[in-house]
Amino acid sequence: MQYHLNGFTPGDPDISDPACRRQVLNGVNGLPEKVDVLIAGCGPAGLCLAAQLSSFPEISTIIVEPKSGPMEKGQADGINVRSMEMFQTFGFAEKVKRESVWINETTFWTPDPNTPEDIRRVGRVQDVQDGLSEMPHVLLNQARVHDMYLDVMRNSPSRLEPDYSLKVVDVVVDHLAKDYPVIVTLERTDTQRAGQKETLRARYVIGCDGARSIVRKSIGGELLGDAAHQAWGVMDVLAVTDFPDYRMKAFIQSSHDGNILLLPREGGFLARLYVELDPLDKAERVSDRGLDISDIIDRAKRILHPHTFDVKEVVWWSIYEVGHRLTTKFDDVPEEEVAIRSPRVFTAGDACHTHSPKAGQGMNVSMGDTFNLGWKLISVLMGRALPTLLHSYSAERWAAAKALVDYDHKWARVVSAPPDEASSMPLVQKKFIEGGRFTAGLTVKYERSSLIGGGTWQGLAKGYEIGARFHSAPVIRLADARPMQLGHVIEAGMRWTIFAFSPQDDTAILNLCDYLENDPQSPLRTFRRDGDDIDTLIDVRAVFQQGFRDLDFGSMPLLLRPTKGRYGLTDYEKVFCADLKGGNDIFDVRGIDRNRGCMVVVRPDQYISHILTLDAYDELAALFAGAFQPVHTG
């Protein structure tokens, strides 16, 4: 991590200097009349967005939550590798790695053909394949994930804190207003002021207010879909059992009592069990059955037979019906009006898509929504991009949600399918292996658009798929010979990264740097503002094929050792070499063309925008022209 650029300051480098400090609204102060952004809901989607915005004190943000304080026990707990990669950009991936349970192995149990009332293990699969990500698949109480975001917000220059006991009850867009067009009505939910209403105007409103989202309803959205007519129970327990895979993820199919998905949880003792209960009639609601925790425990005991299962403490439980639903659009602009106006109201997370929890995707996709939206909102509010950029949010994330709902639809049926004695490998294991990259969150691939280029030069970096996430790999930083992950240079915010991979002859890199630094058409010049460092908007990082002892930092082009900050200090962290020691050469593992090299252009949300030849100056300029607005029109 880089700090002390503008002078030494003592203390924790994760705590920024405060830029301004707004009092928490539920205290003595009232609401402001106007804000740039109002976020409804302190779930993973809302907090992920607030954490991004909080780094920009120029943007005024309010995040409201009807509950009276932060969550203590969460329902979601699965964190896939893609979310862990995203956590890295916020700086708390290591903390989550330490505190969470890692899912390393998944096992499969079916009835014993000789004694069908007993289960036995029939398969085991490494949960995340080698090389899929530098991050593990982990589980952690959602409340702790919230805490991580709240820490980022608290330590940010904005010192952003949620306003609790405050609920969005209405959202209206005033299309005639010149600015702050969204009128938001809020209601107090604390006992003293319950029902008291307040109004404010916002530039943008984001509904992260769950499946019953008021924001969604206000913009005419509706969750459409179907249900599996199947009751499930879920519980977090401290229990004693002789089931040997209690600390692995386990799919357990019984002969007559349904199925269990067992997940170990953080801390070494806690476990979560999803337990299949009864099928429901078409018109029946799960609440009609009057089921409770004892039903879940009883059923779990029967399914786990012949193993003991003695519950000592129930931490949390719920009974629910599996459903898969999706709104038609994640913003307030109907398809036919996209050409004439830009969105002002958005929905994210459960507010626009719901699915069954057992694929472990809910929290991940919700955070993925607002990680997609965050940099776009920041870019627009900082005057760096035109508001039309915001259309891409619904376009990109609706497709991702649709793929998830479809997958989940199939997956829920696989999990509930009766065991198939004929097959040597249970169906659920087969489907689990097939879906590995999907459940890891790695199949999201954004379609071609002004932000995602075409595939002409895809062959120059076969391991980097245009539209998919930038897959990190080990490298050595030239200036200090530090072994590290290349992808970890990306931080949450609005900055794009150009990874320039050098051919054996580095002339193309020198030429590219010369163009980027000096050509009047260079996007580093056309979009740069007074006061910007050279890398404020676009960060250029070079990767060389040589070992770090074979290159001279001092002869790198100035763009790769730029001067920054009030002292004009040198940034030493722009140049990398292949790690030639451990069979980890990034040119090999990511299939980079060694003769031609290439540019891999990565968006602030870690998705690959384009792959280009090192001399594709015009294409590069055109790409950024689609994302940013030049300074003279700003």
- Window contacting a second copy (CB under 8 A); options: 323-331, 397-405, 545-553, 607-615: 545-553
- CA 253 – CA 415 distance, rounded (Å): 9
Residue 132 CA: distances (Å) to CA of 2, 16, 126, 319, 575: 28, 34, 12, 34, 25
By CB under 8 A, is residue 143 in contact with a second copy?
yes
The nearest distance, CB 510 to a second copy, in angstroms, is 18
Task: Answer positive or negative: Cα dihedral of 430, 433, 439, 441.
Answer: negative
**Phi and psi dihedrals of 354, rounded to 5?**
-130, 155
Residue 289 three-state SS: helix
- Window contacting a second copy (CB under 8 A); options: 19-27, 396-404, 434-442, 550-558: 550-558
Pull the structure tokens for residue 307.
């193993």
Identified binder of a second copy from the candidate list 132, 211, 227, 569, rule CB under 8 A: 569
Residue 290 CA: distances (Å) to CA of 274, 293, 296, 323, 387: 18, 10, 12, 19, 50
By CB under 8 A, is residue 288 in contact with a second copy?
no
Cβ partners under 8 Å of residue 329, min gap 6:
221, 335, 394, 398
Identified binder of a second copy from the candidate list 20, 23, 72, 169, rule CB under 8 A: 72
Q: Which 292-351 residues touch a second copy, going by CB under 8 A?
A: 312-313, 315
Question: Of 247 and 358, which has the nearer Cβ to a second copy?
Answer: 247
The nearest distance, CB 64 to a second copy, in angstroms, is 22
Residue 205, CB half-sphere, CA atoms under 13 Å: how many? 30
> Could you tell me how far CA 440 lies from the centroid of its own chain?
12
Question: Of 104 and 449, which has the nearer Cβ to a second copy?
Answer: 104
Nearest to 371 by CA among 348, 398, 395, 402: 348
Q: Answer whether 613's CB lies under 8 Å from 600's CB.
A: no
By CB under 8 A, is residue 238 in contact with a second copy?
yes
By CB under 8 A, is residue 240 in contact with a second copy?
yes
The nearest distance, CB 480 to a second copy, in angstroms, is 4
Q: Which residues pair with 270 in a beta bridge?
A: 238
Nearest to 259 by CA among 355, 358, 354, 325: 358
The nearest distance, CB 429 to a second copy, in angstroms, is 15
The nearest distance, CB 98 to a second copy, in angstroms, is 6
Identified binder of a second copy from the candidate list 43, 91, 343, 487, rule CB under 8 A: 91
By CB under 8 A, is residue 479 in contact with a second copy?
yes
Question: Of 104 and 511, which has the nearer Cβ to a second copy?
Answer: 104
- Angle, alpha carbons 523-525-526 (nearest 5°): 65
By CB under 8 A, is residue 554 in contact with a second copy?
yes
The nearest distance, CB 185 to a second copy, in angstroms, is 32
Question: Of 132 and 238, which has the nearer Cβ to a second copy?
Answer: 238
Size of residue set near a second copy by CB under 8 A: 66
Q: CA 189, 193, 199, 202: dihedral to nearest 10 degrees?
A: -50
Per-residue mark of binding to a second copy, 97-136 (x: CB under 8 A): xxx-xx-xx------------------x-x----------
Per-residue mark of binding to a second copy, 150-189 (x: CB under 8 A): ----------------------------------------
Helix locations, 25-112, DSSP H: 44-54, 81-90, 93-99
Identified binder of a second copy from the candidate list 174, 226, 242, 447, rule CB under 8 A: 242
Q: Which 182-201 residues touch a second copy, going by CB under 8 A?
A: none
Q: Answer whether 417's CB lies under 8 Å from 427's CB.
A: yes
Q: CA 243, 245, 247, 249: dihedral to nearest 10 degrees?
A: -120
The nearest distance, CB 262 to a second copy, in angstroms, is 12
The nearest distance, CB 5 to a second copy, in angstroms, is 6
User: Which residue's entry shows tokens 């004694």?
Assistant: 115
Residue 247 three-state SS: coil
Identified binder of a second copy from the candidate list 41, 66, 264, 467, rule CB under 8 A: 264
Task: Find the helix packing angle between 362-381 and 44-54, rounded to 10°.
Answer: 30
- Window contacting a second copy (CB under 8 A); options: 201-209, 233-241, 503-511, 518-526: 233-241
Which residues here bind a second copy, judged by CB under 8 A?
Answer: 1-5, 7-8, 10-13, 72-73, 91, 94-95, 97-99, 101-102, 104-105, 124, 126, 141, 143-144, 147, 236, 238-242, 244, 246-248, 264, 266-270, 312-313, 315, 479-483, 548-549, 552-554, 563, 567-573
